[in-house]
Chain A
């Protein structure tokens, strides 16, 4: 029986330890999370959802959209890149020669393998990313060294990874992105594309409605089932309702009928459009692409 007590004790300790580590500790660490601020900006993040979008999250949950869609973007690495924005009075050839001599002079030759230097095929157009490296210090050093009057280069921080290269977001997803989600719908399978930034990638509400009603109408090789039950097909009244979907012949209802989204469809689309995780944060930094005023 001593044996038995020891076994029960071991099981309690084992499960208790994992409970402390994976339930208690994250609750204490992340459960009290508050609004954070966007990097280098006074703006707070994330934005509170509108009432309609919050209701849309419940439609998303009830219909199990997370069975096929993730709401999390992965990141493989972080890179510094140097972008040439102005050449002043110099010619592109001068810059090439100068940079190459710089590498020799700075004894960067041995490390240049770690740098992707893209000067060879450059036709002189600006702005131009001429160096990519995962070593920020080298990038800083080169950036300072080419500091000659007229020449301007900008050091940009860029998050890398296959998900990001697909245009699914400018950085990885972090805890702050889900602060207001009740429940959080991360998803675990990508039978459909990631939706972490769908509000940025496809901000057109009409496109979203069309896609829900007849996925193949907007994405010909889509494997998504249609969600026709979120729409109502009704007789056209005095005139076509302004919110009626503009469907082409293949997907249109019978003549004299129109397809209008129900409240649930509109809420779901409002929620989708509220998915915008595209600002830099301290824990996931990157240099946003801005148009200089």
Chain B
């Protein structure tokens, strides 16, 4: 391209915008650092660093744990149902009606709705074998000490659950009662028969 043309064209050439050279001003860096600090504090106190189970308005895993509903009748019933359905319900049925040839019903069973809980609590802790009458029906089976592996609280909750579900209306079972009975019969006691069971106080 000849110089002539270049000169002529460049007369029409607009100047492009320029920028004044300057460094990043100090004050804005300081403001950014201050915001970073406070934002970081907020993130640290509310975000719990990626905890998958922590949602607002909870701010820490401890607080979330504190507010888990663990006491109260509803919680006991819910806990009892959970224990019952994982350990007992497989044979006795989640409706408490039992299964023919496998396990007698718990709903309306005279062994469940006893006045005290001593005799009832022995069954899951020691197991039972031999002939047994439940609601006028004859059974001849054996049940191992299915409840022995459960913690006291869970077994107590499960017993409370079967005593107040499916139309049963008997009192609750406390963890202390279960603990005392467990201490009295010791580790791996022999299975009980109907007569041995009846010999125990209600």
Direct touching of A and B (C-beta under 8 Å): yes
B58 in the interface, Cβ–Cβ < 8 Å?
A: yes
Measured in the bound complex, the distance between the Cα atoms of B68 and A154 in whole Å is 14
Total residues of chain A contacting the partner, CB 8 A = 34
Interface segment, one of B30-38, B71-79, B123-131, B193-201: B71-79
A positions within 8 Å CB-CB of B: 25, 29-30, 39-42, 75-78, 80, 85, 136-137, 140, 143, 154-157, 172, 174, 280, 282-288, 290, 292-293
Of all chain B residues, which has the CB nearest A85? B73
B69 in the interface, Cβ–Cβ < 8 Å?
A: yes
Contact with A along B23-60 (1 / 0, CB 8 A): 00000000000000000000000000010111111100
Contacts of B6 in A (CB 8 A): none
B177 in the interface, Cβ–Cβ < 8 Å?
A: no
Contact present for A41 and B78 (CB under 8 Å): yes
Contact present for B69 and A287 (CB under 8 Å): yes
Q: Kindly identify which residue among B67, B82, B168 contacts A40, using a CB–CB cutoff of 8 Å.
A: B82
Contact present for A174 and B55 (CB under 8 Å): yes
Contact present for B72 and A155 (CB under 8 Å): yes
Q: Kindly identify which residue among A42, A77, A290 contacts B57, using a CB–CB cutoff of 8 Å.
A: A77
Contact present for A157 and B52 (CB under 8 Å): no
CB contact list, B147-165 vs A, under 8 A: 164-165
Of all chain B residues, which has the CB nearest A156? B72
Chain A to chain B contacts (Cβ below 8 Å), 16 pairs:
A30-B52, A39-B78, A40-B69, A40-B78, A41-B78, A75-B56, A136-B66, A155-B72, A156-B69, A174-B55, A282-B68, A284-B55, A287-B75, A288-B74, A293-B165, A293-B166
Contact with A along B76-104 (1 / 0, CB 8 A): 01110110011000000000000000000
The 7 closest A-B pairs by CB, nearest first: A40-B78, A154-B72, A157-B69, A287-B69, A283-B53, A42-B85, A136-B66
Contact present for B53 and A282 (CB under 8 Å): yes
Total residues of chain B contacting the partner, CB 8 A = 31
Contacts of A286 in B (CB 8 A): 69
Contact present for B74 and A287 (CB under 8 Å): yes
Within the complex, the shortest CB–CB distance from B91 to chain A, in Å, comes to 16
Contacts of B165 in A (CB 8 A): 293
Of all chain B residues, which has the CB nearest A174? B55
Contacts of A287 in B (CB 8 A): 69, 72, 74-75
Measured in the bound complex, the distance between the Cα atoms of B167 and A292 in whole Å is 11
Contact present for A283 and B55 (CB under 8 Å): yes
Contact present for A40 and B79 (CB under 8 Å): yes
Q: Kindly identify which residue among B52, B64, B71, B86 contacts A143, using a CB–CB cutoff of 8 Å.
A: B71
Contacts of B168 in A (CB 8 A): 293
Contacts of B71 in A (CB 8 A): 140, 143, 154-155
Of all chain A residues, which has the CB nearest B77? A290
Within the complex, the shortest CB–CB distance from B155 to chain A, in Å, comes to 16
Within the complex, the shortest CB–CB distance from B43 to chain A, in Å, comes to 12
Contacts of A75 in B (CB 8 A): 56-57
Q: Kindly identify which residue among B56, B67, B78 contacts A80, using a CB–CB cutoff of 8 Å.
A: B67
A76-B57, A288-B74 as given contacts; A39 in contact with B164, CB under 8 Å: no
Contacts of B55 in A (CB 8 A): 172, 174, 283-284
Contacts of A285 in B (CB 8 A): 64, 67-69
Within the complex, the shortest CB–CB distance from A79 to chain B, in Å, comes to 9
Contacts of A85 in B (CB 8 A): 73
Contacts of A154 in B (CB 8 A): 71-74
Q: Can you add 19 more A-B contacts, CB < 8 Å, to A39-B69, A41-B78, A290-B77?
A: A40-B81, A42-B86, A75-B57, A76-B57, A77-B57, A78-B57, A85-B73, A136-B66, A154-B73, A155-B71, A155-B72, A156-B74, A172-B57, A282-B68, A283-B54, A283-B64, A285-B68, A293-B165, A293-B168
Contacts of B74 in A (CB 8 A): 154, 156, 287-288, 290, 292
Q: In this complex, which of A40, A78, A283 has the most chain B Cβ atoms within 10 angstroms of its Cβ?
A: A40
Measured in the bound complex, the distance between the Cα atoms of B70 and A143 in whole Å is 13
Q: Kindly identify which residue among B75, B81, B167, B169 contacts A42, using a CB–CB cutoff of 8 Å.
A: B81
Measured in the bound complex, the distance between the Cα atoms of B175 and A153 in whole Å is 18
Contacts of B167 in A (CB 8 A): 293
Measured in the bound complex, the distance between the Cα atoms of B55 and A77 in whole Å is 11
Within the complex, the shortest CB–CB distance from A256 to chain B, in Å, comes to 50
Q: Kindly identify which residue among B50, B75, B85, B164 contacts A29, using a CB–CB cutoff of 8 Å.
A: B50
Measured in the bound complex, the distance between the Cα atoms of B51 and A30 in whole Å is 11
Contacts of A80 in B (CB 8 A): 67
